[in-house]
Amino acid sequence: MSKAPGPTPPQYTYVPPPSAPPSYQEAIGGVKPTSPFTPIVHPVTNTTILTTVVPIGRSATHMICPTCNAEIETTTRTEPGMIAYLSGFVIALLGCWFGCCLIPCCIDECMDVHHTCPNCKAYLGRNRR
């Protein structure tokens, strides 16, 4: 017994959707219509920015601020650094408990110096001890 051939499956073909009518600007020739598959190419410019590194020391430094491009004398602020905390810890281990361990936090050589711009208040760097 042979089987009778059944109905063949229908062949589907792709029919693109109808396109929208052109806009007013496209109709009068002011704007070129773009396809969603057409890449838009933007020109790329290679810009090189050169910066100079100013050594930041323990005192105020004369420099040009990289943020606001003004010629400034940096504003400094001191804060206890890692050396001050380690020295205080060692002093406390040696038995000086009653405030002696806080002495390194008052010595300028144990302090970190933070530099900021007086014009735009941008943080410029830190000098560590």
Please report the pLDDT score of residue 125 as a whole number: 86
Q: Which positions of the chain have pLDDT values less than 50?
A: none
Q: Residue 105: which domain range?
A: 75-129
Domain count across the chain: 1
pTM of the model: 0.54
The answer to whether residue 53 sits within a structural domain is no
The answer to whether residue 125 sits within a structural domain is yes
The answer to whether residue 114 sits within a structural domain is yes
Please report the pLDDT score of residue 76 as a whole number: 92
For the chain, what is the total number of helices (H) and then of strands (E)? 2, 5
The answer to whether residue 33 sits within a structural domain is no
Query: In the block, which residue shows the tokens 């890692």?
Result: 82
